[in-house]
Structure 1
Amino acid sequence: MVAHRRRATRNKLVSYSMTQRINAQFSHLNMIIDAGDVQCVLNLRMNRNAFGRLCCLLMHLGGLTDSRYARIQEKVAMFLSILAHHKKNRVISHDYICGGQTVSTHFQEVMRASLKLYMLLLVKPTPVDWNCDSDLWKWFEGCLGALDGTHIDVHVCAREKAKYRTRKVNIAVNVLGVCDRNMNFIYALTSWEGSAADDRVLRDALTRDDAFKVPRDE
């Protein structure tokens, strides 16, 4: 009888704890999203409209689904928080009241779903017309866009840090990005360590098997 009461008590505590945890997760997510666009941009680097559209794309095109204890919105918010603020696993685990393994699983799910959107998100550029009225682009008739490199901080094992250390001593990857005049990505190369020079990254982008090719008029 005593053992039975102990098991009943443990089950009751576990059930109560799960309920409290889910309510706390919803409260944290609502605090970010429903508080207004300012808080959403500060935390996720996009407004509520963009966040909602991204969640819909990841669900319908990327195949992202709700889990037993996590909605799609929560998974995407975790993913964006990590990317936007370089938050560590243990910080996200504390904010969203879940285990570190759960955070890693959700991050990988959203990453896989995001990769399925590349055909939609990587656009085909159109050249600047001779009658363009934009003060920024009207001087560049025929231009398709612009390219630049940036360093994005990463976490790597200790033996790999020397290769990824930039001239500013950050541990990062050297990313080449190409955008059209509307800031839509045309091409991105993310495989180079932070110590690599920009011209080396560009040379690789132009000569690799899946090379970046600049369209030309026939």
Structure 2
Amino acid sequence: MINFRMSKMVFTILLRVLETRYNLQTLRNISSSEMLRIFLYILGTSAKISQCRERFQRSGSTISRHFANVLEKVSRMATDLIAPEDPFLLAQYPNKYDCIGAIDGTHIAAILPPNEQIPYMGRKGISTQNVMAVCDFNMCFTFVMAGWEGPAHDIRIFLNAIRDPKYKFPHPPNGKYYLVDYGYPQIKGYLGPYRDFMEYEDINWAYENIIDSENAHGRESDDDDDDDDDGDDDGESNNSSGFEMELTRDAIASSLMNSL
């Protein structure tokens, strides 16, 4: 638990999955178990290569090479795991307002060599990744877009995720939608909160809490970026699909007000 942030049982199961499904193989001079231990030790303790050299009695090049190898396997596993459990789940989600989840961004510290830190440096003075996450109402992540520089705007990351088929974004079925905040375009399938009406604060509260409750300690919402605009939304928030979502939002608000 101290070194790898997981129990022995979980470690053994993870190792077996990586070996059988993602082809993590023992090599002549190093076992698959040690490769995974190096990987988890670096992630769990933020250890540097020099610290790992001492801890595992391996050269820096060996540690770097096998860390990258395990990372590739785990990234493939993540693509398979971080997805809706059932391909038909989105269409059948039992929600009276047809909402299937929420989308938000969070900043996570990025550890980089000094000569690579500038592109990731945000207004908070540290290097971060801007990570977009999608969460359902079972409190499970169904999509994560990681790797973008901290200063990258939410809209740019969002549009890249939904437009590029290689990311396998779980698009909402017809008639369903995600809750998003001000940093995202309001287009068909993506419903933003009211900006100025206190009487509809229940809608905004539902959005804010669904992703915030999933963000681990050390991560922070980038809601204060919401008023920025990098002009990359192609005007989609002003088209007919955006108007359709406004009508949906008004209908939900009216329903909530009538139930009080």
* TM range, smaller chain: 0.5 to 0.7
Amino acid of the structure 2 residue aligned with 1:177: A
- Residue type at the aligned position of 1:214: H
Partner of residue 124, structure 1: 84
Task: Give the CA RMSD over aligned residues.
Answer: 2.7
Greater shift in the superposed pair: 109-118 or 72-81: 109-118
Please list, as runs of the form range in 1=range in 2, the aligned pairs for 1:44-193 lying within 5 A after superposition. 44-118=4-78, 120-125=80-85, 126-127=89-90, 128-129=93-94, 142-193=98-149
Q: Secondary structure at the match of 1:68?
A: coil
Alignment CA distance shift 1:159-1:98 (3 Å): closer
C-alpha distance 160-108 of structure 1, shift in aligned 2 (>3 A)? closer
Q: What do residues 95-135 of structure 1 show as CA deviations (whole Å, max 9, x unaligned)?
A: 111111111121122122223324531322535425xxxxx
Percent identity of equivalent pairs: 30
Instruction: State the shift of 1:192 in Å.
Output: 1.4
Query: How many aligned positions are there?
Result: 169
Match of 2:162 in 1: 206
Structure 2 Cα separation of the partners of residues 156 and 43 of structure 1: 22
Kept after mapping to 2: 8 A contact 1:165/1:172? yes
* 3-state SS of 2:3 partner: helix
Q: Deviations over 1:133-176 (max 9, x none)?
A: xxxxxxx7644333332223334344432210122222122111
Over 3 Å counting, the alpha-carbon distance change for 1:65 and 1:215 in structure 2 is same
Q: 1:152 to 1:93 in 2, by over 3 A?
A: farther
Q: 1:55-102 CA distances to partner (integer Å, 9 max, x unpaired)? A: 111000110112234322221121122223322111111111111111
Matched residue, 1:14: none
Segments of 5+ residues of structure 1 without an aligned counterpart are 1-39, 131-139
State the one-letter code of the partner of 1:54: L
> Is the 1:61–1:116 Cα contact (8 Å) retained in structure 2?
no
Does structure 2 conserve the Cα–Cα contact (< 8 Å) formed by 1:144 and 1:181? Answer: yes
> SS state of the match for residue 117, structure 2?
helix
TM-score (norm 2): 0.56
**TM score, norm. by length of structure 1:** 0.65
Contact preservation (8 Å) 1:64, 1:113: yes
Gaps of 5+ in 2: 176-260
Q: Aligned pair in 2 of structure 1 residues 183, 214: CA closer, same or farther (>3 Å)?
A: same
Seen in structure 2, the aligned counterparts of structure 1 residues 148 and 45 have a Cα distance that, compared at 3 Å, is farther
Q: Give the 3-state SS of the residue equivalent to 1:152 in structure 2.
A: strand
